[in-house]
Structure 1
């Protein structure tokens, strides 16, 4: 059964409902983001009976389930840096328009947007931007691959901070302010990542992915400091997937350029299948910069809808993981001793991460959506592991192809 995705804002957990939004019929299963005066607090999954008031029902559920959650600390954003938002896209003009509408509605005082048209087959993206979004800069990158497109966006950007998101997201109006504020507060921060929640849960594939965590990293802000490795992450910094995802990330421009940008042999659109964001996270941390995660920087992601999409995604995640580790070994050999020292424990972690998972043993998404009894099929676990075996070969193929294309 489809699950309605809702957004409720409360004036404190015991306060009034300030707003309630739901794009679908809210009667039935509902997955709701709970905010306190605009700030994300957590998510809840519940059921709104026929004829019941959805806002009152969800508010009561939030008060019960999130009663022990501390309120977010006050925001102290000041002197927000000039920022460039980079959106790479390929032949998805309809989705891109939706994303650009949300990006142009940001409350950040000083930013620009660059759209990178990656290896286009038609002129649809160029025409959309020039006709409907004259304030957005359009650039083209003919070398296929997300990392190559992002590097082109970096070259076209003028911001002190470079933010990246995808063409299949809708950004919260406060997203860019929350994502860039930490750079002004801490000069040692080189990267900031944010919260990714589902835009819709209408198909079994979308529900299964979100039931096992989706892209969310929780509702607690956290700073990762290479000078003080976190005690709860013995594989730090190589478990880069715990830091965030490429659909919601920003870098201090000097930090990203200082590590050489993204590895063009990684990412969607290359034989490596992924890993471009993971490589950049670890490269920035290895250079001595801090990485900060903030749940205040929210985007809604349109999860893939079909079973085949999810199969492709599972294989790509596995391939991208080992492709990015191979990229680190090739491009940053100084990290190789630390990587090899963590290899035995890393292999055990990989086996556990790709194991078939039952509904009661999942890594829960924020709120209760992770405990809904949707088992992770063995077929997807096998695909993840096959992807991990393929990743180093995919990276090697991508390097060869990238070198040939750049030599033309």
Structure 2
């Protein structure tokens, strides 16, 4: 039976993967086609700006619109270099502006109120050193009405409880969930939520101050919205594994808002709604609490910490959509993610993604057999699609987050060893899910 990789391995030989500074650039467009720099800062928790390669988020008056990768020469002003790179990348079409949604149909009602009251759930396990950084960013949100809940999943030490008690008493709610598994921890948070919306993020992110407002506003604007996901960008690119992952797309889903409506399936996505990986990621998602509870929450036999190894977020996305709710992608809802740092981390991640993909599909079929005919009808194309996405990775320029080929995908091809691990994970996923369900019984 396939097993998750556990022994260390070195990355295959290729040109060096350089340490890249991550920056946050905010611009205002000039009438003559130029741009004025409003602010330029390092990404939260990242190294200071310096000469050398720089990967920058570009905002237009605070709104994320693109990323650029360029090299700042010694003695040059990074503001000038990055601005010129963005304008050149925009080319003859002018600076990139968020486009109307093309995924699905439907219109939202004009907003009548501010973002709804929200509970933010952070599931964690033995990472108190990272959790504090995430909590600080969450407590600095500009959302008018929210609370933060930390779910300590199967803790071995009291470090997380002590962190919350000593550093965040009265500001963060602490809950202990003894049963291991990310989905179980998330369900514990949902049970404790007393708000119309429940949002989820991870302990290895730093949330932009406007993150929660942007992530939850669509629920007030459209009563059919059941789920919203947001933009995830790297906080650091200081190790070869981090650079390789981000050079092939990372977790970003682009800068154009998108609407997925089961009543009007998106054109060009024949596998919808079983292409859950394109909807977003669990580090940046929110649900209408009533919709999530109505579909039974997260499947506790999925997710990190179970034999299934993942798929809890994908399962929830598909269940909310198949129940008739809309899912929206809101690129203004930004979190900075601290990618895994080592080559072995990346190997484990590749295997886990493959396992989680087929585990969540198995969960959908086991728990909701009525969806099986639709899944079987799409299965041949689905298998071909799965093989294609593991054979190579898209660079950010190919998925809408930067200039074509500019972010390293050509210089650093996705290793075949990682593609093989992901396919092995796909073969293991159904068995992992079965083991997880049997173990819970």
User: Shared topology, TM-score over 0.5?
Assistant: yes
Q: How does 1:33-182 map to 2 (within 5 A)?
A: 33-67=57-91, 68-72=94-98, 78-134=113-169, 135-182=171-218
Cα deviation, 1:204-224, whole Å, max 9, x if unaligned, reads: 100110111100000000000
Q: What's the secondary structure of 2:309's corresponding residue?
A: coil
- 1:17 equivalent to 2:52? Answer no
1:104 to 1:400, Cα distance in 2 relative to 1, 3 A: same
Q: Which residue of 2 aligns with 1:398?
A: 436
Query: 1:240: which partner in 2?
Result: 276
Q: Which residue number corresponds to residue 306 of structure 2?
A: 270
Structure 2: segments with no counterpart, 5+ residues? 1-17, 101-109
1:177-235 per-position Cα deviation (integer Å, ceiling 9, x unaligned): 00000111100000000000000001110011011110000000000000001111110
Kindly indicate whether the alpha-carbon contact (under 8 Å) linking 1:8 and 1:21 is maintained by their aligned counterparts in 2: yes
Aligned to 1:406: none
Change (3 A) 1:78 1:114: same
Q: CA deviation at 1:362?
A: 6.8
- Find the aligned partners of 2:394 and 2:297 in 1 and give their Cα distance: 39
1:384 corresponds in structure 2 to: 422
TM-score by length of 2: 0.88
Q: Which residue of 2 aligns with 1:259?
A: 295
CA root-mean-square deviation: 1.9
Shift of 1:360: 11
User: Which of the pair has the greater relative contact order for Cα pairs under 8 Å at 6+ separation?
Assistant: 2
* Deviation string, structure 1 residues 358-395 (Cα, Å, up to 9, x no partner): 97997575443254521111110100000000000000
TM-score (norm 1): 0.95
- Between the aligned partners of 1:370 and 1:288, the Cα distance in structure 2 is 39
Question: Residues 97 and 224 from structure 1, CA distance in 2 versus in 1: closer, same or farther, beyond 3 angstroms?
Answer: same
Residue in 1 aligned with 2:345? Answer: 309
8 Å CA contact retained: 1:359, 1:375:
no
In structure 1, what is the equivalent of residue 12 of structure 2?
A: none
Find the aligned partners of 1:206 and 1:18 in 2 and give their Cα distance.
Answer: 28
Change (3 A) 1:245 1:308: same
State whether residues 230 and 284 of structure 2, in contact with CA within 8 Å, keep that contact through their aligned partners in structure 1: yes
